[in-house]
Structure 1
Amino acid sequence: MMRRILLAASLFASALAIALGGCGGSNISEEPVYTTTPQGVHVAALAMSTPRADAAAIRLRDGRVLICGGNATGTIGGVLSSAEIYDPSTQTFSPTGNMTAPREGQTITMLQDGRVLLTGGAQNIGFRSELASAEIFDPSSGTFTATGSMSIPREGHTATLLRDGRVLVVGGSDNGTHTLDSAEVYVPASGAFTGAGHLNQPRIAHTATMLLDGKVLIAGGGRGDRPGGYIAYDTAEIFEPITGGFGMLRAHMVNARVGAASVLLSDGRALIVGGKSGQMLMAGFIGNIAGLTPLNTAETYDPEARRFVPTGQMGAAHYLPTATKLDDGEVLVVGGWKQQGPTVVGMTATEVYMDRTNQFSSPGPTNVGRLENTATLLPDGEVLVAGGIDANSKITSSVEFYSPRQHSFILIPEAGAPAGPAENP
């Protein structure tokens, strides 16, 4: 999604860029980050092998983290096919096999057998660069192989592992402007995608959260291919895996939200944080970018009451953040879009949602500004925060770690931190 601000082919495409998170991170961040160890030694912090923004990351069953694709430059030709592995036992990044195609904005989902499914995304900057293809990463061989393709190209979509092992793929855009209402499922046994009905509303940059009963909550998002401009939704619907259909919820969200993040809480509620709200008109486009308002609010969906409930407010507005559930049930919110004059940069503000009090607290800033970064829970309970667009609007290879024990962000992971529970697929 980052690439869309660079289209400039039409006013509408530019409008969609602002709505969905496009930004002008067109330079590689080359300045190294240093830290001082407890022994007083000045050392370079850890970093990925290449700068990456809008990449995909997931923790594998053996505790290592796969990070793949993304954009290294924000320019034509900057989309990556490379991938790398972070090994927390050695605190090192090492290359693994390349993807079958360059991708940014792809989804990443662990299958029940431990392999990883990647779907869609974009292969370059420009109109109609979305991908219908999908591929599988095999951790045992460290290689990617092509699998069946989706029926239509998708970017800005979601992918959710269902209880029966299939993967539900919902919405997105097939050409950079048109918003999709279609859905499909990936069947690992056949390696093929099949149709899964239609949403009640076309959606892009929505959230998808599997609830405890196996149903999937599809909330918010937006639509840009409509007369007059771009609108963010306050509506939500439920996918029922047994019937294979989508049902609209009567309850509306507390706020319309596009570009939010969501996570399932331990008590079965779905937490939805940040995003942007409102409607952006085409007329007077430049003067009406502020029509979409970044949100410092959050809300939960209660599946028993079938309603949305506001939480305490965050300390800052987070548009396009990451949300990571920690081992103790709290949720870490990192990064997002910050307007700095005419430039979009990554933000350093962070939040921790405490489910016991329904409030947010701040663990302090990240060491590097982050937008379109990844955030992955490690076996020891720390969170690996990697890449993204920094506070200077440059794409960075830097990484850092959130330490729940220190309630802060550190550049070198803690030594000897206790391992957390094994991650379920």
Structure 2
Amino acid sequence: MAVARQYHTASILGNGKVLVTGGSNGSNSLNSAELYDPTTGIWTTTGYMNVARQYHTASILGNGIILVTGGNNGSIYLYSAELYDPTTGIWTTTGNMNYARIFHTAFLLENGNVLVTGGFGRIYLSSAELYDPTTGNWTSTGNMNFAREYHTAAILRNGIVLVTGGYYKSALNSAELYNSTTGIWTITGKMTFARQFHTASILENGNVLVTGGSGSSYLSSAELYDPITSSWTITGNMNVARENHTASILGNGTVLVTGGSGSSYLSSAELYDPT
């Protein structure tokens, strides 16, 4: 990349390029953005965001525009959101969120709206809000039952959003479901292990695989959520305990887990076979 950065986002655009935004260089938050072209292996700079930010989210809207939300710039927690147009390379501001937040989640719903949940903004947040791309406005929706940061959100096949774990004074094992039709959150089965900085992946059979993270220690454990029974079952442990890792579903249905940190920073990778 042209700029060293951490705590940034990366999004695959409709044209196949990867957009990297913001983050930190270790001293300051960044407003720079750059594009990776997989056909040439070359990085190029693109338009700068209006606000420097780290610990933000980036979501691809139905029209291919990228929505960036929240984060922080130094000691300032951000309400702001902005849009990146891949056809022009230009960022434009859009409506502010109702709550400034970092360490939140943002997911595109089936109706085209974006659901933002939880995080931290000088206090732990249970609030959730919806962004409407057609108006550029944010509206509050039902609060989660538990305030949380460092959690995950995954959209089940029925359109319900599953939020798992995270942190509120200690790691959480709670999970809850958001119904976008009613705007209501309901508590579902608890995970076996409290965890934060974990991953959640939707498998081909509709179950959700949660891996690693940390509670009172770094976790190698993994567990499966069954949306039909609303229950969790333990599955095989990873070979290495890790948090702040990634999990990617490959074309053959296996899950690739990479990197993260545990007793040290990790270069290892491993595969989970759901079958």
Q: Deviations over 1:229-284 (max 9, x none)?
A: x31111100000110110011x210111111111211111111111111xxxxxxx
Quote the residue 2:131 is aligned against.
186
| Cα deviation, residue 323, structure 1 | 1.4
Q: Find the partner of 2:266 among 347, 354, 359.
A: 347
Answering whether residue 107 of structure 2 is matched by residue 160 of structure 1, we say yes
- Listed as ranges, the matches of 1:16-415 within 5 Å are 48-72=1-25, 74-75=26-27, 78-124=28-74, 126=75, 129-175=76-122, 178-223=123-168, 230-249=169-188, 251-277=189-215, 292-339=216-263, 346-356=265-275
Instruction: Tell me the amino acid that sits aligned with residue 350 of structure 1.
Output: A
- 4+ residue stretches of structure 1 with deviation over 3 A? none
The structure with more helix, counted as a fraction of residues: 1
| Cα deviation, residue 338, structure 1 | 3.4
Instruction: Tell me the amino acid that sits aligned with residue 210 of structure 1.
Output: I
Structure 2 segments unaligned to the other structure (5+ residues): none
| Cα deviation, residue 135, structure 1 | 0.6
| Cα deviation, residue 95, structure 1 | 0.5
TM-score, structure 2 normalization: 0.97
Instruction: Please give the alpha-carbon distance, in whole angstroms, between the structure 2 residues aligned to 1:100 and 1:333.
Output: 34
CA RMSD of aligned residues (A): 1.1
Instruction: Tell me the amino acid that sits aligned with residue 52 of structure 1.
Output: R
- Listed as ranges, the matches of 1:6-17 within 5 Å are none
Instruction: Please give the alpha-carbon distance, in whole angstroms, between the structure 2 residues aligned to 1:154 and 1:332.
Output: 30
Instruction: Please give the alpha-carbon distance, in whole angstroms, between the structure 2 residues aligned to 1:220 and 1:253.
Output: 8
Structure 1 segments unaligned to the other structure (5+ residues): 1-47, 224-229, 278-291, 341-345, 357-425
The higher-RCO structure (CA 8 Å, 6+ apart) is: 1
Q: Which secondary structure does the structure 2 equivalent of 1:276 belong to?
A: coil
| Cα deviation, residue 337, structure 1 | 2.2
Percent identical across equivalent pairs? 39
| Cα deviation, residue 339, structure 1 | 4.1
More moved, 161-170 vs 129-138: 129-138
Instruction: Please give the alpha-carbon distance, in whole angstroms, between the structure 1 residues aligned to 2:263 and 2:221.
Output: 18
Instruction: Please give the alpha-carbon distance, in whole angstroms, between the structure 2 residues aligned to 1:326 and 1:132.
Output: 35
Q: Which structure has the larger Rg over C-alpha atoms? A: 1
Instruction: Please give the alpha-carbon distance, in whole angstroms, between the structure 2 residues aligned to 1:174 and 1:257.
Output: 21
TM-score, structure 1 normalization: 0.63
Q: Which secondary structure does the structure 2 equivalent of 1:205 belong to?
A: coil
Q: Deviations over 1:369-406 (max 9, x none)?
A: xxxxxxxxxxxxxxxxxxxxxxxxxxxxxxxxxxxxxx
Q: Which secondary structure does the structure 2 equivalent of 1:231 belong to?
A: coil
